[in-house]
Amino acid sequence: AIGIGLAVHLLLPVPVGVDPQAWQLLAIFCTCVAGLIVEPLPVPVWAFLCLTMAVVSKTLTWQVALSGFTNDVIWLITVSFFFARGIVQSGLGVRIAQSFVAAFGKSTLGLSYCLTTAEAFMAMAMPSNTARAGGVFLPVIKSLSEEAGSTPEHKPQRLGRFLAMSQCHGAAQHSSNLFVTGAAQNLMCLKLAEEAGIVLVNPFMQWFSAACMPCLACLFVAPYAMYKLCPPDIKETPEAPAAARRKLEALGPLSQGECVMLLAMAAATVVWVCGFGLPGATGAMLGLSILLSTGVLSWQDCLAESSAWSTITWFSVLVGFSGALNQMGLIDWMANNVSASVVGLGLPVWGSIGVLLAAYFLAHYLFASQTAHVASLFSAFLAMIIMAGGGSVFSALLLAFTTNLFGSISHYASGSSVVFYNAGYISLRDFWVLGAKMAVINTSVFFAVASPGGGVWA
Give tens-digit pLDDT for 149-172.
Answer: 888 888 889 989 999 999 999 999
pLDDT band for position 186 (50/70/90)?
confident
Residue 73 has pLDDT above 80, yes or no: no
Q: What 3-state class would DSSP assign to 277?
A: coil
What is the C-alpha separation between 21 and 84, in angstroms, rounded? 41
Tell me the mean pLDDT in the region 107-122: 86
Give dist(CA 377, CA 293) in Å, integer.
42
* Among candidate residues 337, 373, 372, 367, the one with its CA nearest the CA of residue 355: 337
**What pLDDT does 292 receive?**
95
Residue 455 pLDDT exceeds 50 = no
Which amino acid is located at 90 in the chain?
S
Q: What's the pLDDT at 66?
A: 94
Residue range 423-435: average pLDDT? Answer: 92
Average pLDDT, stretch 401-423?
91
pLDDT for residue 126: 66
**pLDDT attached to residue 452:** 47
Q: What is the pLDDT of residue 315?
A: 81
Assess whether pLDDT exceeds 60 at residue 70: yes
Query: What is the distance between the alpha carbons of residues 224 and 110, in angstroms, rounded to a whole number?
Result: 10
- Which of the pair, 176 or 368, is modelled with greater confidence? 176
Q: CA-to-CA distance for 456 and 400, rounded, in angstroms?
A: 11
Please, which pLDDT band fits residue 451 given cuts at 50, 70 and 90?
Answer: low
**Least confident among 45-49, 65-69, 388-392, 440-444:** 388-392
Burial code of 108-144, b = ≥16 C-beta within 10 A, e = fewer? bbbbbbbbbebbbebbbebbbbbbbbbbbbbbbbbbb
CB 291 within 8 A of CB 88: no
Most confident of 25-34, 129-138, 292-301: 292-301
Instruction: Taking residues 109-114, report their average pLDDT.
Output: 88
Q: What does the pLDDT average to over 273-294?
A: 85
95-121: average pLDDT: 83
pLDDT of residue 170: 92
Spacing of C-alpha 428 from chain mean position: 15
Q: What is the pLDDT of residue 454?
A: 44
Higher pLDDT, 240 or 445: 445
Q: In degrees rounded to 5, what are phi and psi of residue 376?
A: -85, -45
pTM beyond 0.85: no
Does residue 380 register a pLDDT over 90?
A: no
Residues contacting 205, CB < 8 A, separation 6+ = none
Q: Which of 176, 184, 207 has the alpha carbon at shortest distance from 442?
A: 176
DSSP readout, 289-302?
A: HHHHHHTSS-HHHH
Please count the residues of the chain.
Answer: 458
Using alpha carbons, list the distances in angstroms from residue 356 to 193, 211, 284, 310, 359. 17, 20, 37, 35, 5
Region of poorest pLDDT, from 165-174, 204-213, 344-353, 441-450: 344-353
